[in-house]
Structure 1
Amino acid sequence: WTKAWIKRQSNYIKGLKSKSLSAKRLASHIVEDIEGYFKAFKKCKDYWGIQDKDIYNFDETGFQIGVSSGEMVLVPKDILAVYTADPENKELITSVETINYGGRKVPPIIIFAGAYHLRRYFKNNLDGDILFARSSSGYSNDKLGLKYLEHFNRYTQSKSIGQYRMLIFDGHGSHLTQEFLDFCWQHHIRPFQLPAHTTHLLQPLDVGVFQSLKHNFKKEVRKQVFMGAKEISRTDFFAFFQRFHDKTFKNPRIHKSAFRKTGLIPLDPQQVLLKLKEYQ
């Protein structure tokens, strides 16, 4: 009877596949808190006279270097399944990325686990301005957080239109050390922290960039597999990193679009508040 009832109500309801979202993120969907965030953003921007093109967002994202995803292929009707080889390298490499409303380039920092770098990693077409770093976990830490700021300042200070730059980031511990915050204030960088558990709504990189970056990465992995790769190593990853990275970040529309979708530039909280209805 259920199917019959749904069919009779087809003018009013439809079926949708549910998507998972952490309880903490759902709990962060409080209209007053979101509105307060936008008011604080405007207050900071106006008080320090920060220009739109001096606003940046940075965050880390990870790649399992040999993991791709399935894709649609055309096969004869009697074929029930298609399998492709899985390189099975689950090593995680972290890339610290920056986006700017004006489209200014800040080269990424690539972090991987290990005690040393091998020369063969860099015999490729990688941008010479990319900064490489190591950590025991392959993730960022307090020391690398400060290293990022020095890197960021090096590439943005001379390009600043106004006296101050704004740097938007999440609440990761490495972004909140006293050394990190002191460096910001000493170098005319105004730190602006996102509310907890709201990056899926408010962070330009999460909303407008990382999905495209991961998509282009997985396409590159599949390409390597179809070309016969049995294994994708760290060296292989660095060899094609620049291709999928450029395909994302050299898109002239992606920078402004990411800030627009998060309601920051132009300032429009409704861009986010309307999205809250999707989670109700």
Structure 2
Amino acid sequence: MIYNADEMGISVVHKPGKVVAELGRNHVVSGQRGKNHTLMACVSASAFVLPPIITYPRKRALPDNYKAGAVPNTLFVTSTNGWINSELYFEWLKFFSNNIPPARPVLLVQDGHSSHMSIEAIEYAKSSQIYILCLPSHTTHILQPLDIGVFKSFKSNFSKAFTNYVSKNPGRVITPDLMSSLVSEAWLVSVTHLSIMSGFRKSGLFPFNPSVVNDRLGPSEVFKEESKSNGTPELTLPTIQHSTIDSPLTPEICDVSSAHVLSDTHSINPTPSVDISPVPLAHMDTNSSVSVNDDHTELFTEEQEKLFSKCFEEGCDLYDPLFVTWLKIRHPYCCVSVSFDALSECTATTCTKKRENSKRRKEKKRRKEKKEEKRKKEGEKDEAKRKKEEERRKEEEKKKEEERKKEEERKKKEERKKEERKKKEEEKKRKEEEKYLKKQTAYCSLRKKLKEEDSCPKCEVKYDVSDIWIACHVCDRWLNFECTELKDRSNIPDTFICQDCVKV
């Protein structure tokens, strides 16, 4: 398996493509200068992606809020200046060894920075069967897959993530605790299967093709012409020879998890001449030798070509590392990608477009049925609720009708009582009127009688209209006021009884 690891510097200071400045100014310098952070990535030729490592410029331990929204299983470390040193690289090398697929040996391609060359790291790599290949100086932009295929896209998407955050949160300053979430947003769209495979292909590492970079690494045309004119031999770069290697049969077909990661594994011979061949597979003949060349014409037999072409056209799933290798060579942009959980066992699955569409249709049908069932249940609930509401409404109407009848009965009773009271009052008034009439009649008769008698029975004084006369209520005789025992003329009682009647 071929891996490539590289670091890149990132910062929380946003550098947008366009800025607003005074008219006529050609250079605009930002007053901010953020601290450096280092992001280290590692990918394989089979598009296996190791979670990144982010180095923060801190002395204390990293708070938990700095890890929010990060890429799953990201390794967080700190250093004084935010750069990776020998100790941190040794820690990452252990992380790398523990979380890659178990196939050994592996080739780790990286630059020749001094932090990568510690004695402890080299001894650990040797014990773990990790062969470290350091690229020559000033050639990483040509030979390093991450620089060619991934980091350029990542920097662009990282800047877009900054711009989106600033536009959605105007006035808010981007702080280091937001770094991991912004890295995750750019990581998911940048570190893809196509970008990784493109980087390895353009660097000539896999599929192995030195002619891709030979022209760029050779001497310039001017230097060649001067060499010829001076009679000195022309400088040429050494070429890597291809060899034919006999490969024994693998005892059994690899499982799904190792089928994809073993497809680009090479046997590495640490000698000046580098021999690279595919991993022996169960479909190869024990006595046949497979020669690798740039055209891949002798890598597969006729029967294998027919079988793999038929499987590719029909969209079949063939869990065979040789089929995966055939896909990568014949159809590099349709090759099956590999996913990996850094803290769990290596898992890899192949999915064709036909199966994805079928799965999508089944999922869509399942969601539709679930939605229909949910709508049906909601309809039943609404119907039950409507019936319950109708019953409640009828019950309320019934209660209102009963209350209305009771109110009518009460009003009728009150009306009857009012009529009875009215009748009683009328009867009472009639009786009072009758009594008054009787009294007036009696008074008139007494007056008439008094006029007939025309004198007081005691003093025998004749009746005088100008004087006060009082009638006894017992004997009905009229007496002169002077003949009574009353003294106050202004306070005459309503009922008067004469002395003769009192004695009786």
- Shorter-chain TM-score above 0.5: yes
Which residue matches 1:110?
54
Answering whether residue 65 of structure 2 is matched by residue 120 of structure 1, we say yes
Answering whether residue 73 of structure 2 is matched by residue 129 of structure 1, we say yes
1:263 corresponds to which of 196, 204, 213? 204
Residues 166-205 of structure 1: matches in 2 within 5 Å?
166-205=107-146
Which residue matches 2:16?
69
For 2:219 and 2:50, locate their aligned partners in 1 and report how far apart those are by CA, in whole Å.
33
SS of the residue aligned with 1:223? Answer: helix
TM-score (norm 1): 0.70
- Does structure 2 conserve the Cα–Cα contact (< 8 Å) formed by 1:89 and 1:233? no
SS of the residue aligned with 2:99? Answer: helix
* Residue-by-residue CA offset, 1:184-214 (whole Å, 9 max, x unaligned): 1100111111112211111111122111111
For 2:203 and 2:17, locate their aligned partners in 1 and report how far apart those are by CA, in whole Å.
30
1:234 corresponds to which of 145, 155, 176? 176
Go from structure 1 to structure 2 and tell me whether the alpha carbon gap of 1:135 and 1:204 turns closer, same or farther (over 3 Å shift): same
- The alpha carbon displacement at 1:276 in A equals 5.0
Residues 1-280 of structure 1: matches in 2 within 5 Å?
54-71=1-18, 88=32, 90-116=34-60, 117-122=62-67, 124-158=68-102, 160=103, 163-227=104-168, 228-249=170-191, 251-276=192-217
SS of the residue aligned with 1:184? Answer: helix
Tell me which amino acid in the other structure corresponds to 2:121.
F
For 1:113 and 1:180, locate their aligned partners in 2 and report how far apart those are by CA, in whole Å.
23
SS of the residue aligned with 1:108? Answer: strand
- Does structure 1 conserve the Cα–Cα contact (< 8 Å) formed by 2:59 and 2:78? yes
- The alpha carbon displacement at 1:64 in A equals 1.6
- The alpha carbon displacement at 1:68 in A equals 2.3
Tell me which amino acid in the other structure corresponds to 1:69.
P
* Residue-by-residue CA offset, 1:151-192 (whole Å, 9 max, x unaligned): 10111142x2xx310000111111111111111110011111
SS of the residue aligned with 1:107? Answer: strand
For 1:96 and 1:278, locate their aligned partners in 2 and report how far apart those are by CA, in whole Å.
32
For 1:229 and 1:181, locate their aligned partners in 2 and report how far apart those are by CA, in whole Å.
48
Tell me which amino acid in the other structure corresponds to 1:99.
V
For 2:97 and 2:135, locate their aligned partners in 1 and report how far apart those are by CA, in whole Å.
20
- Does structure 2 conserve the Cα–Cα contact (< 8 Å) formed by 1:142 and 1:177? yes
- Does structure 1 conserve the Cα–Cα contact (< 8 Å) formed by 2:5 and 2:109? yes
Go from structure 1 to structure 2 and tell me whether the alpha carbon gap of 1:178 and 1:157 turns closer, same or farther (over 3 Å shift): farther
Larger RCO of the pair (alpha carbons < 8 Å, separation 6+) = 1
SS of the residue aligned with 1:166? Answer: strand
For 1:239 and 1:174, locate their aligned partners in 2 and report how far apart those are by CA, in whole Å.
27
For 1:221 and 1:192, locate their aligned partners in 2 and report how far apart those are by CA, in whole Å.
35
TM-score (norm 2): 0.40
For 1:80 and 1:225, locate their aligned partners in 2 and report how far apart those are by CA, in whole Å.
26
Specify every segment of 5 or more residues in structure 1 that has no aligned partner in the other structure, as ranges.
1-53, 74-78
Go from structure 1 to structure 2 and tell me whether the alpha carbon gap of 1:138 and 1:148 turns closer, same or farther (over 3 Å shift): same
For 2:19 and 2:65, locate their aligned partners in 1 and report how far apart those are by CA, in whole Å.
35
Go from structure 1 to structure 2 and tell me whether the alpha carbon gap of 1:125 and 1:87 turns closer, same or farther (over 3 Å shift): farther
Go from structure 1 to structure 2 and tell me whether the alpha carbon gap of 1:87 and 1:214 turns closer, same or farther (over 3 Å shift): farther
Which residue matches 2:486?
none
Structure 1 vs Structure 2 CA RMSD: 2.8
- The alpha carbon displacement at 1:99 in A equals 1.4
Tell me which amino acid in the other structure corresponds to 1:56.
Y
SS of the residue aligned with 1:246? Answer: helix
- Does structure 2 conserve the Cα–Cα contact (< 8 Å) formed by 1:67 and 1:90? no
For 1:133 and 1:230, locate their aligned partners in 2 and report how far apart those are by CA, in whole Å.
26
* Residue-by-residue CA offset, 1:84-119 (whole Å, 9 max, x unaligned): xx7946221101110111111211111011122122
Which residue matches 1:35?
none
Go from structure 1 to structure 2 and tell me whether the alpha carbon gap of 1:225 and 1:277 turns closer, same or farther (over 3 Å shift): farther
Go from structure 1 to structure 2 and tell me whether the alpha carbon gap of 1:132 and 1:113 turns closer, same or farther (over 3 Å shift): same
Q: Pick which of 269-278 and 100-109 moved more.
A: 269-278
Task: State the percentage of identical aligned residues.
Answer: 29
Runs of 4+ in 1 over 6 A off after TM superposition: 277-280
